Amino acid sequence: METERSWPRRRPEALLGDKGYDSNPNRDELRRRRILPVISRKGSPNIKGIGKLRYVVEQTFALLHHFKRLAVRWERRTELHDAFVSLACSLICFRRLKKTHS
């Protein structure tokens, strides 16, 4: 029987996080896994430029939450939820492409 070959998992070089993730256990676990923690410390100014990178993630969640069914997960089966997320992402991309070509 032939086994399916896949690419090896790639480990991220760094992980961005806000002050809510500032704890030594979190930082230690990331370092143990050879991932650089880029996390603002509580009580100190924010890391310069991290807002631009986080904005992309926050904007993506906001776009997905326009689809009311995804704002709160109602499906018991993860396959259905994943299918709705894929469909929502496809619609978002289609609408963006449609805007640029009109």
Residue 94 to residue 36: CA distance in whole angstroms? 35
Residue 21 to residue 25: CA distance in whole angstroms? 10
Residue 12 to residue 85: CA distance in whole angstroms? 23
- Which among 60, 64, 59, 62 has a CA at the least distance from the CA of 85? 64
The first and second tokens of residue 24, run together, are 């030594």
User: What's the distance, CA 76 to chain centroid?
Assistant: 22
- 10-residue mean pLDDT profile of the chain (102 residues): values are 64 83 91 90 71 72 82 78 89 88 75
Residue 42: predicted pLDDT: 80
Residue 1: predicted pLDDT: 46
pTM: 0.49
